[in-house]
Amino acid sequence: MIQISNLSFSYGDEPLYEKVNFIIGDDQKVGLVGPNGSGKTTLLNIIAGYQSQTEGKVYVKGFIGLVPQEIKYDPEMEKAKNTRNYTDPDNLHKDHEIRKIFSGLEINLDLDDNPQKLSGGEKTKLALARAFLQHPDILLLDEPTNFMDTVGKKWVMNFLSRYSKTTVVISHDLALMNNAIDKILYVDLVTKTIDEYKGNYDIFKKLKEEKDALQKRQASMGQKKVKKMEEAVRHAMSFRTEKGVRARVQLQKRLTKMRETLPQLPPEVRKIKIRLPDPANCGEIPIRTVDISKSYGGKKILNNVSITLIRGERLALIGPNGAGKSTYIKILMGLTKPDFGEVIKNPLLDVGFYSQEFETFDMNKTVFDTFTETTHQNEGFTRAFLGRYMFTGNKIFQRIETLSGGEKTRLSIALITAKSHNLLILDEPTTYLDVLSQRIILEALKEYKGTMIVVSHTPEFIIELAPKWAYLFPEEKKLYWDNSLIEKVEEI
């Protein structure tokens, strides 16, 4: 059971929620919904006790299991001898039970593998396996299916629909939100409230549309009344007698009160407006790799990978988690050294990089400092530019580590669009974004005229980007892109 009473939370002077109240029952399955940056992840951390509220009370009954959308640092994973020791630290389960969970979550690991060497997606799935095996009284999940294909998503959906304890889920997976959820909590970015809706996501969407339509009708009627009252006040301005002055004062008071109680129109979520600058001049071959090889712990990840890209070409890296896509990108960016081979870059190459693990961010720096140090722009330009990405007011002085995955993504995209890069390297750019934000970013990328290397587990995203080439992992083959390869995208 979770009981929230008069909960308020602020970052500096910027409130996320104000005087919020709700109860989640012992066996309820709740979907937490709201635009990026509304405070969904923060709310999970408050419930779990990892974040302190500004005001109010949080009552939680039972053992909590929280799986964040990104594994920044997990001390249990760091000290675990192997994946079995991490997922079942108290040795309560038989090997075949653990392997069954691994299979459902598409974890292609042995029980004696080292968990510290895994990619971000593999670490997240391993943390899910640990939580599912522990069977907590309260299960808190932040985007649990981000790194899964269709089969894995369906398995998680079925697992959660059968789960007998309290569950709170943040997810952009509509199938999960419709089939494994019986209540929606909507976090309103503008009103700073949290509203309850009984039913799944589709029911919530219908009820919210009806509520918004009613608010618009009420606001329209109220505005008409205010307009009539304003006309009466203007007419009363001509009154000169003592009685007339008193009447005018009373009318003015009534008008002020009417304005204060006027129903507010449902606020539209601010939309990010993105335009990528034209790429800076570069040679015919911006980048190429020759015989890149890399192993971890005796396991070969990359073997003689040679890729050449011509200016303006788009390349999609395709393959399952752990096959080497992110490792190859890290080698391109100089974040990891290859065991053999070399990366040859044009002297005029200027790379815009997005990584789902945000390796290039200093988590202790603020949004403002990160942007100004990267772009060398002044405060006025920085505030105006970041405002387009919904970083306003004191939000720009938040440290990176306090941002949600969606907010870190917006900052990454802001940094990319602030300069004229001639190569974009994008590793899962849509992982933490809602559907609207994904579409906005996709439209900007479709218009980009430079060279692009992209990894994405969203089939529609790859299809619309229309890459010229695909490089398959672990097969290590470069092919002309064909939409028949989309099945392999869904394996990511």
DSSP collapsed to 3 states, 67-95: ECCCCCCCHHHHHCCCHHHHHCCCCCCCH
Residue 447: pLDDT above 80? Answer: yes
- Token pair belonging to 156: 């998680």
Using 50, 70 and 90 to split pLDDT, how confident is the model at 130?
A: very high
Residue 269, pLDDT score: 45
Could you tell me which of 75, 101, 69 has the C-alpha nearest to residue 88? Answer: 101
Least confident span in 411-415, 427-431, 474-478: 427-431
Q: Which two tokens stand for residue 176?
A: 């999960």
Which CATH number characterizes residue 428's domain? Answer: 3.40.50.300
- At 328, give phi and psi (nearest 5°): -60, -45
pLDDT tens digit sequence for 291-334: 999 998 788 889 999 999 999 999 999 988 778 888 999 999 99
Residue 212 belongs to a domain? no
* End-of-domain residue from the set 185, 205, 225: 205
Domain count, the chain: 2
- Mean pLDDT, range 431-451, rounded to an integer: 82
Within a domain: 257: no
* SS3 state of residue 337: coil
Domain assignment present for residue 357? The answer is yes
Question: Is 69 part of any domain?
Answer: no
User: Tokens at residue 159, please?
Assistant: 């697992």
139 versus 118: which is more confidently predicted?
A: 139
Mean pLDDT of the 429-446 span = 79
pLDDT at 367: 94
154-198 pLDDT tens trace: 899 999 999 999 999 999 888 899 999 999 999 988 788 999 999
% of the chain surpassing 90 pLDDT: 41
Residue range(s) defining the domain that contains residue 447: 287-489
Please check whether residue 148 lies inside any domain of the structure. Answer: yes
298 and 401 within one domain: yes
273: pLDDT confidence band, cut at 50, 70 and 90?
low
Looking at per-residue confidence, does 484 or 186 come out higher?
186
Q: Model confidence at 139, in pLDDT bands (50, 70, 90)?
A: very high
171-179 contacts, C-beta under 8 A, 24 or more apart:
171/31, 171/141, 171/143, 171/144, 171/145, 172/143, 172/433, 172/434, 172/435, 173/145, 174/201, 176/144, 176/145, 177/31, 177/33, 177/201, 178/202
pLDDT value, residue 266:
53
What type of residue sits at position 460? Answer: E
What pLDDT band is residue 265 in, cutting at 50, 70 and 90? low
d(CA 113, CA 118): 9
Give domain status of residue 328, yes or no. Answer: yes
Of the three residues 205, 230, 258, the one that is the final residue of a domain is: 205
Any domain includes 192: yes
Are 321 and 452 found together in one domain?
A: yes
Q: What is the mean pLDDT of residues 450-474?
A: 89
Check whether residue 456 and residue 363 sit in a common domain. yes
Of the three residues 205, 233, 253, the one that is the final residue of a domain is 205
Q: Which residue has the higher pLDDT, 491 or 102?
A: 102
The answer to whether 142 and 69 are in contact (CB under 8 A) is: yes
pLDDT in tens, 345-393: 999 999 999 887 787 888 899 999 999 999 898 999 999 899 888 888 8
Task: Assess if residue 31 is contained within a domain.
Answer: yes
Q: Please indicate, yes or no, whether residues 364 and 478 belong to a single structural domain of this protein.
A: yes
Q: Given pLDDT bands bounded at 50, 70 and 90, which one contains residue 213?
A: confident
| 185 shares a domain with 292 | no
pLDDT score, position 172:
83
Average pLDDT, the chain: 86
Query: What pLDDT is attached to residue 6?
Result: 94
pLDDT at 58 (0 to 100): 94
